[in-house]
Structure 1
Amino acid sequence: MPAPSGLPGNSRTLRAHRRRPLTALALTLAAATLLTGCFAGTGTGTGAGADTGARSGPGSAGADGRLRVAMMQPPRSGLSPLTDDAFKLSRWSTAETLVRLDRDGNAEPALATDWRQTGPTWTFTLRDDVTFHDGTPLTAEAVVRSLTTAAKASPKPRILDGVTLTARATGPRTVTVTTGTADPLVPQRLSSPQLSILAAKAYRGRTVNPVGAGTGPFVLVRAEGTASATLDRYDAYWGGRAKAAGIDVRYVPDGTARAAALRAGEADIVEAVPVSQARLLDPELVTEVPMPRTNTLYLNTRTGPFRDPALRAAAREAVDARALVAGVYEGRADVAGGLLGPALPWAAELRAPVRRPHAPAAPRGATVTIGTFTDRAELPEVAQLLQQQLEKAGFTVKLDVREYAAIEADALAGKFDAFVLSRATVLDSGDPAAYLYSDFAGDGSFNIAQLADPAVDRALAAATGTATGDSRRRAVIAAEAAVLATDAAVPMLHERVIQGDAAHVVDAAHDPRERELVTVDTHVR
């Protein structure tokens, strides 16, 4: 497997590569060479209902009915469902939740068949034909164990930011979930992959181990750290037999190598194809979907130069988002009008101009450090262009670029003056209030901007407590405006999902929320 990529060259060099397709193609083929054999013979044949036999190489794609998937980011927390690793479990269809979301973000049945609200309490009725991958049945006690573990975790899943939640079994197949105050979003919260329901075996010791403990159509049979994962078909799945025999996952942080794997026949499904590589692929193999993901410059409001709101305003004024979209994303992105993008069309309809109380001040050479990560191939170049834009405005700018796993803790601890982040805005609940709270509330668990603003907290509390519908949407836009008025975050652009599927892949999911990838229907011809 290839080593993760380091910081790309300067912007001029990168643009020159785009003008020389043959050079880029040579790099792509070289990366493909490094991947050869990574997916060969990875099926275990040991999972419930798994087909036997090993894949014999690139020319035999689909011969054993298994899917080879190249994923961008390796696990950061041992595939714990209490972290962002939960979204891998969801994309592999191995761990499931009580509720799932439809395309419009409405809650619909999953492991729970129905639910009803009485004040701050919701009662959920469970399916009666579900077994975990270890053969044990889904029970109310199992659901309570999973939800209680999540509610008591430190840090707890961000979908529970600002929420006190308790779960209790009220019958063999009924569970009540009670929050500190009446919460209209409980069903949507319970759709978060971070609240997946796992078997008792997953909760031994201090960690949560999902291997062999889910309920989905694929059982996770082996997790090899940050290198790979292997899943086999689970024939006893309550939703019907999966069409694929299994999934062989490799983590490939290098975007060029991921694209090369698709070109060389070394992968069947490739997530997060870099913009610079998309044009080198057969257009028939690339799917592009607008997504609720915003590329944002977070400014540290607690320490460093950006404690001064006037300097934050100066940074905002210096950012030229159109140049980023044209130069880095080659037009495959949308200039941001706010934190919420075109994947939520109602946001633009409700948004009004933001009133900002502070005028920009001259930076006078103020030195700032911008952090970002290499896992998303465009971000290092975004940081480089931002460096040029801010220096033109009078700042002195340093860059710190690493893999995400090596930089996240420092970002959350406020060790950067600014941080460039590609952030999904409805990832957890299908509702942006959870993202806004997590990122900008004083006690938010992902508050990279270190923001602690009473007006913002009040607006976020109002949005969180408003019933679903138009009123909630207006409250969400009011909260967005309160955040933008502080200049703690400078939304730059809204990204699109660029996914590569081999020609023989059928029914791979193209999910703008990045919850689904391989489903019960996905298979190879």
Structure 2
Amino acid sequence: MLMALAMLTASAARAQSLTIALASMPTAVDPHFHNLVPNNAIAAHVFDRLVHQDERQRLIPGLAEAWRPVSDTEWEFRLRRGVVFHDGAPLEAEDVAATLRRVPAVPNSPGPFTQFTRSIAAVEVIDPLTLRIRTRSPAPLLPIDLSVIPIIPRRFEGAATSAFANGSAMVGSGPFRFESFVPGERVTLLRNDAYWDGRPPWARVTLRIVPNDSTRAASLLAGDVDAVEAVPLTQLAALRRRPDLRLWRAVSNRVMFLSFDTHRDLTPFAAERGGRPLATNPLRDRRVRLAISKAINRPLIVERLMENEAIAAGGLLAEGFFGASPRLAPEPFDPDGARHLLREAGWPQGFQLTLHGPNDRFPNDERILQAVAQMLARIGIEARAEAMPFNLLLARGGPPDHAFSALLLGWGSNTGEVSSPLRGLLATPDRQTGMGVANRGRYSNAALDALLSRALGTVAEDERRQLLEQASEVAIGDHAIVPVLYQVNIWATRRGLTYAARADEWTLAQFFTPDP
């Protein structure tokens, strides 16, 4: 009898717990330190936002039950009544104000959230549940931007990043309470029974950090975890054959692309064939960047490396996202045209170039990097691929002291709009305004900046969409970056679990639901 009771107790405990294998290493748990998908997804378990996004990145009420423009430069947000933080303190408008003050004050951020708060001129607390936000100019994207900012209690406004890392400041109003974080290993969470949007289905959640693709897939196949994100494409066939597993897909808001050092007269990882130093930086020439784009056989990469679980990219976001231009088709594979452009640009013999990129961040990132290097070699650019862990890549290559010449990277749109990569990747860098915070090549184009500025201040949705499309076309027409592919996000779960697959790649425990 005791043995049977113990078995029932263990079974009940397992039914109340969820273990997920994550693919990417978070760089911080401070919710405002580094705007990065794995960081943001972990934060979304513990901290809530004023405005939420559904799985297709459409806006829905969050901590704010309603919002409205009061004038062209003022928005009012009405908070939910009865929301409490994990320590029992009530959520009030002053907590939101304190959060918005903290975002630009976080020191040494490698990827700040300031691009989402740059338009804010002042925050006025009207009453405990109402605040008004005044902007410097018309800011129609403010509700979208605030859907990216986690709200913290006011008493942690001055908290150091280390206070979040040790757990003392990890107090939010989200669906789960923070228990522990072991860097490189796991995050453990406990259910918030008082969550305003309903009691989550899991009493305990363990987020295991498993960057190795084979190990992550094996952990699901062996039953050691209940779900995995970023299903490795090399294991896709094996997972499909298992009747006890399920796959969940969504077209991603992420584009994989090549970024170039277009700012400096000399660039560190390019040389003449034979290794002699260059007199100029070839990557500053639009024709060279176009030649590189023409050298890439995107359909082949999608078919051979991505198992057709990706889409060849011509723009900054896939079709269907707001502001994605339908006129930006993938650059056709044209090696003869690429060689002609190199000759025209004054590089008939080509040159040497090192391509850097991650080996543990995106699906098949290192293999894509190697494939692109081989394709460039066929047009006369003697390219070498050098992959490294993503954290090391970030540490070495952050603006303004960018250390690379050409990078394979990915950008996911936090907002589901083309405004996100335009602001973050391609706008002329300006830390005070939050523009170009991830513009690693220091690209600058006055025409692009002007179109983007107009779009960000345009309230009429159709007009804003057209301006964003135009800005995208200017950027891609100048080959500021070279898009390679749009990801398809894939999760796998054991049978009996359902997941609402998300465009934003976020793996959120509250949206894994057991079958009835």
Measured against the shorter chain, the TM-score band is 0.7 to 0.9
Q: Retained in 2: the 8 A contact 1:278–1:286?
A: no
Q: Return closer, same or farther for 1:390/1:149 CA change in 2, 3 Å cut-off.
A: same
Match of 1:80 among 27, 31, 37: 31
CA shift at 1:246, angstroms? 1.5
Other-structure match for 1:293: 254
Match of 2:75 among 101, 107, 122: 122
Other-structure match for 2:468: 476
Other-structure match for 2:139: 183
Given the alignment of the two structures, is residue 339 of structure 1 paired with residue 316 of structure 2, yes or no? yes
Alpha-carbon distance between aligned partners in 1 of 2:260 and 2:446, rounded to the nearest angstrom: 18
CA shift at 1:63, angstroms? 2.3
CA shift at 1:90, angstroms? 4.7
Other-structure match for 1:168: 124
Other-structure match for 2:277: none
Given the alignment of the two structures, is residue 248 of structure 1 paired with residue 202 of structure 2, yes or no? no
Other-structure match for 1:147: 100
Alpha-carbon distance between aligned partners in 2 of 1:103 and 1:429, rounded to the nearest angstrom: 12
Count of aligned pairs? 462
Given the alignment of the two structures, is residue 209 of structure 1 paired with residue 164 of structure 2, yes or no? yes
Instruction: Tell me the amino acid that sits aligned with residue 122 of structure 1.
Output: W
Alpha-carbon distance between aligned partners in 1 of 2:218 and 2:507, rounded to the nearest angstrom: 23
User: What are the Cα deviations for residues 177-197 of structure 1, in whole angstroms up to 9, with x where unaligned?
Assistant: 1221110011111101xx111
User: What are the Cα deviations for residues 492-512 of structure 1, in whole angstroms up to 9, with x where unaligned?
Assistant: 11110111111132x433111
CA shift at 1:377, angstroms? 4.0
SS at match of 1:256: helix
Match of 2:382 among 375, 396, 402: 396
Q: Return closer, same or farther for 1:166/1:261 CA change in 2, 3 Å cut-off.
A: farther
Other-structure match for 2:391: 405
Given the alignment of the two structures, is residue 110 of structure 1 paired with residue 62 of structure 2, yes or no? yes
SS at match of 1:197: coil
Other-structure match for 2:341: 360
Q: Which runs of 5+ in 1 are unaligned?
A: 1-51
Other-structure match for 1:198: 152
Match of 1:418 among 391, 406, 419: 406
Alpha-carbon distance between aligned partners in 1 of 2:508 and 2:366, rounded to the nearest angstrom: 26
Alpha-carbon distance between aligned partners in 1 of 2:304 and 2:234, rounded to the nearest angstrom: 10
User: What are the Cα deviations for residues 208-245 of structure 1, in whole angstroms up to 9, with x where unaligned?
Assistant: 62844111221111112222111011111112212211
Given the alignment of the two structures, is residue 324 of structure 1 paired with residue 285 of structure 2, yes or no? no
Alpha-carbon distance between aligned partners in 2 of 1:133 and 1:274, rounded to the nearest angstrom: 36
User: What are the Cα deviations for residues 302-322 of structure 1, in whole angstroms up to 9, with x where unaligned?
Assistant: 132312222212212211111
Instruction: Tell me the amino acid that sits aligned with residue 334 of structure 1.
Output: I
Alpha-carbon distance between aligned partners in 2 of 1:462 and 1:172, rounded to the nearest angstrom: 34
Q: Return closer, same or farther for 1:200/1:346 CA change in 2, 3 Å cut-off.
A: closer
Instruction: Tell me the amino acid that sits aligned with residue 372 of structure 1.
Output: G
Other-structure match for 1:228: 186
User: What are the Cα deviations for residues 106-143 of structure 1, in whole angstroms up to 9, with x where unaligned?
Assistant: 43211011112122111111111100011111011111
Identity of aligned residues (%): 27
Equivalent residue runs for 1:426-465 within 5 Å? 426=413, 428-443=414-429, 444-465=436-457
Instruction: Tell me the amino acid that sits aligned with residue 294 of structure 2.
Output: E
Other-structure match for 2:273: none
SS at match of 1:124: strand
Given the alignment of the two structures, is residue 369 of structure 1 paired with residue 354 of structure 2, yes or no? yes
Alpha-carbon distance between aligned partners in 2 of 1:237 and 1:53, rounded to the nearest angstrom: 30
Show structure 1 runs of 4+ deviating over 6 A: 52-56
User: What are the Cα deviations for residues 450-477 of structure 1, in whole angstroms up to 9, with x where unaligned?
Assistant: 2012122112212222225222111111
Alpha-carbon distance between aligned partners in 2 of 1:365 and 1:380, rounded to the nearest angstrom: 24
Alpha-carbon distance between aligned partners in 1 of 2:75 and 2:507, rounded to the nearest angstrom: 26
CA shift at 1:373, angstroms? 0.6
User: What are the Cα deviations for residues 2-52 of structure 1, in whole angstroms up to 9, with x where unaligned?
Assistant: xxxxxxxxxxxxxxxxxxxxxxxxxxxxxxxxxxxxxxxxxxxxxxxxxx9
Given the alignment of the two structures, is residue 157 of structure 1 paired with residue 148 of structure 2, yes or no? no
Alpha-carbon distance between aligned partners in 1 of 2:24 and 2:240, rounded to the nearest angstrom: 24
CA shift at 1:161, angstroms? 6.9
Match of 1:263 among 187, 196, 221: 221
Alpha-carbon distance between aligned partners in 2 of 1:508 and 1:353, rounded to the nearest angstrom: 31
Instruction: Tell me the amino acid that sits aligned with residue 20 of structure 2.
Output: V
Q: Return closer, same or farther for 1:191/1:472 CA change in 2, 3 Å cut-off.
A: same
Q: Which runs of 5+ in 2 are unaligned?
A: 1-5, 268-281, 332-337, 430-435
* TM-score, length basis structure 2: 0.83
Alpha-carbon distance between aligned partners in 1 of 2:370 and 2:152, rounded to the nearest angstrom: 43
SS at match of 1:133: coil
User: What are the Cα deviations for residues 242-264 of structure 1, in whole angstroms up to 9, with x where unaligned?
Assistant: 22112011111111111111101
Tell which deviates more after alignment, 510-519 or 172-181: 510-519
Alpha-carbon distance between aligned partners in 1 of 2:390 and 2:515, rounded to the nearest angstrom: 32
Equivalent residue runs for 1:55-66 within 5 Å? 63-66=14-17
Tell which deviates more after alignment, 345-354 or 401-410: 345-354
Alpha-carbon distance between aligned partners in 2 of 1:349 and 1:309, rounded to the nearest angstrom: 23
Instruction: Tell me the amino acid that sits aligned with residue 174 of structure 1.
Output: T
SS at match of 2:202: coil
Q: Return closer, same or farther for 1:302/1:61 CA change in 2, 3 Å cut-off.
A: farther
